[in-house]
Structure 1
Amino acid sequence: MSDNPPLPPAVVTYQAPCGDHNDLAMTAAGTLGRALAERLGVPPQAVGVPAPVPDGTWEESLAAAGPDLAALAGRYRAVLGAGQRPYGALSRCAAALATLPVVAGKHPDAVVVWMDAHGDIHTPDTTGTGYLGGMALSGPLGWWDSGHGAGIGHGQAVLVGARDLDPAEAAAVGSGRIACLPPGPGLAGELAEWLDGRPVYLHLDCDVLEPGIVPTDYRVPGGLTLDGLHAVCRAVAAGSPIVGAEFAEYEGFDRATGRHVPPGELLDALSPLWTDM
């Protein structure tokens, strides 16, 4: 790891629409961001406000989100330009179309650790659903042109905890186009070994967790526990400089049970990412 002092943190909340429906996550991104900002002792920097999500194709969703995504990218550029380490609380994974290219521009040697039950590496040519979120990582990888940039090179991204890959995504993994480390008891150590001390920007979709732990829109069995998430974050932070992180799809309210789930335990699990080791 670097002997340089850690960068001071900045918390950015993104509550605007960004692709598919998710009214709860738009609101809850603000809740998560404010709770994290309080822990870090910094004011949250808000981008966008909750709004109805228009129906339509991924092209229409991307166009509708365009101004807010541009504002998010601008805020990230300001944070990184000020020598700070961004922590994003995002409504949807597709907001990464704006954040990751900016991070790659500032930290070209950083590796994106994409923690998600899904791959999100479809392109307009392979998507079967037309869902913008399913192309959230492939845009920054340069596999298609989102209009918001790219910059993540080959070997500088890894899928972690993915267990619901469509055939085209599985083919990309099988061909070595992108690495994938599925859930398992040795995941933390495997990831640390794969990273080999390189700087990390970590993206979390809450559906990487076992369903029922944190409310989120998608439920894919076989996910991580909070202890497992903490172990991964601890292993990453112990071996690699953390240049930032972002957390998406937290809803805070379980529609099925009517249960409110505050973000405290989730933030506890993620805490190694800002508690420098």
Structure 2
Amino acid sequence: MLTRDPEKPVPQAGNERVALTVFRGRAGDHNDLAMRGSVAVARGLSERFGLPAGHVGSPEPALNTDWRTELDAALPALREMSGAYERLMSGGLAPLTALSRCSVALATLPVVARHRPDACVVWFDGHADLNTPDNTTTGYLGGMALSGAAGLWDSGLGGGLRLDNIVLGGARDVDPPERALIDAGAVRSVPPGPDLADELRAAIAGRPVYFHLDCDVLEPGIVPTDYRVPGGLSLADLHAVSDVVAEGELVGLEIGEFEASWPETAEPVVPDALLDAMAPMYAALTAR
């Protein structure tokens, strides 16, 4: 169930229509840094908006192993996350969520798709995350997060997200099976570049949006991430994306893959600049 952090006072709720949740458990991790990173992101959001944070899962040592073992270990917390989303969306609340890893979307997106089948999932990530157990070359659970939510394989957490309701943004490390889906027009992809904002607006086409951010969509070195894919977005690019998303209805927002420190130095990092770049989306979410 959702729990509050007993060591941190609960702030006064600033918007009763938005639910701030942090997933801080194990979910296919290569290391332990994103479990602490999600807490840092949630703390920053809580302080900005006066929202109490509901916690799902507890940090555990990363397993760094095959997808099946990772999923089995993560399923109790992921099912808890799915239940939390079901309750808040049934209650008419908008999710504002700090994830550890993208694989937590296996739990969130099927619930979003069930409650808001009219919404498109705008997935900003350096990767497409559309591999399946049958075609993955790495066995990494996070690389199958979006495909599981779309029902291309059975995660045990449901599917239901239509492929034509997916808009990839900023993906540049794309595997051949994922590229085939894009080239066939099953999934819309908006690459990085000077026309990113305009192309994203066209891809959304006036639909409500549920927005997912994997921090590795950014140029490496801006924030700590597990994967580093050159050719990514700047914070100014992310702000422009936020402006486009904020033009319409924002159903919910999740932020994942922010690591709490640089692995080379273990120097802690705060997510303030990242959160600043997404300010238009917060305004849209709290105004719904």
- Regarding TM over 0.5, the answer is yes
1:79 aligns with 2:108: no
1:13 aligns with 2:22: yes
Counterpart amino acid of residue 43 in structure 2: R
**Partner SS state of residue 22, structure 2:** strand
Counterpart amino acid of residue 39 in structure 1: R
Alpha-carbon distance in 2 for matches of 1:55, 1:204: 22
1:213 aligns with 2:222: yes
Q: Deviations over 1:186-237 (max 9, x none)?
A: 1011101111110000000000000000111111110000010010011111
Contact 1:162 1:180 in 2 (8 A): yes
Alpha-carbon distance in 1 for matches of 2:270, 2:70: 29
34, 45, 59: which one aligns with 1:36: 45
Alpha-carbon distance in 2 for matches of 1:202, 1:231: 14
Alpha-carbon distance in 2 for matches of 1:63, 1:153: 25
Contact 2:28 2:64 in 1 (8 A): no
162, 173, 193: which one aligns with 2:182: 173
Counterpart amino acid of residue 133 in structure 1: G
Measure how far apart 1:79 and its partner are.
Answer: 1.2
Contact 1:9 1:40 in 2 (8 A): no
Measure how far apart 1:11 and its partner are.
Answer: 0.7
245, 250, 254: which one aligns with 1:246: 254
Counterpart amino acid of residue 204 in structure 1: L
Measure how far apart 1:259 and its partner are.
Answer: 3.8
Contact 2:31 2:64 in 1 (8 A): no
* 1:103-142 alignment, distance < 5 Å: 103-142=112-151
Counterpart amino acid of residue 205 in structure 1: D
Alpha-carbon distance in 2 for matches of 1:41, 1:139: 34
Alpha-carbon distance in 2 for matches of 1:8, 1:22: 34
Contact 1:26 1:50 in 2 (8 A): yes
Q: Deviations over 1:242-276 (max 9, x none)?
A: 00010000013112244432111111111111213
269, 275, 280: which one aligns with 1:261: 269
Alpha-carbon distance in 2 for matches of 1:247, 1:154: 21
Gaps of at least 5 residues in structure 1 are 1-5
**Partner SS state of residue 278, structure 2:** helix
The root-mean-square deviation of aligned C-alpha atoms, in Å, is: 1.4
CA pair 52-68 structure 1, distance change in 2 beyond 3 A: same
Q: Which segment is superposed worse, 217-226 or 169-178?
A: 169-178
Gaps of at least 5 residues in structure 2 are 1-14
Aligned residues: 271
Residue in structure 1 matched with residue 4 of structure 2 by the alignment:
none
Residue in structure 1 matched with residue 102 of structure 2 by the alignment:
93
Residue in structure 2 matched with residue 22 of structure 1 by the alignment:
31
Measure how far apart 1:168 and its partner are.
Answer: 1.5
Alpha-carbon distance in 1 for matches of 2:71, 2:133: 12
Alpha-carbon distance in 1 for matches of 2:250, 2:94: 8
**Partner SS state of residue 180, structure 1:** strand
Contact 1:124 1:144 in 2 (8 A): yes
Residue in structure 2 matched with residue 153 of structure 1 by the alignment:
162
Contact 1:104 1:152 in 2 (8 A): yes
Counterpart amino acid of residue 108 in structure 2: T
* 1:193-232 alignment, distance < 5 Å: 193-232=202-241
Alpha-carbon distance in 2 for matches of 1:258, 1:58: 27
Contact 2:218 2:233 in 1 (8 A): yes
Alpha-carbon distance in 2 for matches of 1:252, 1:245: 20
Q: Which segment is superposed worse, 155-164 or 251-260?
A: 251-260
Moved over 6 A (4+): none
Contact 1:214 1:252 in 2 (8 A): no
50, 55, 58: which one aligns with 2:59: 50
**Partner SS state of residue 69, structure 1:** helix
1:67 aligns with 2:105: no
Percentage identity across paired residues of the two chains: 52
Alpha-carbon distance in 2 for matches of 1:215, 1:164: 18
Counterpart amino acid of residue 265 in structure 1: A
Q: Which segment is superposed worse, 35-44 or 67-76?
A: 35-44
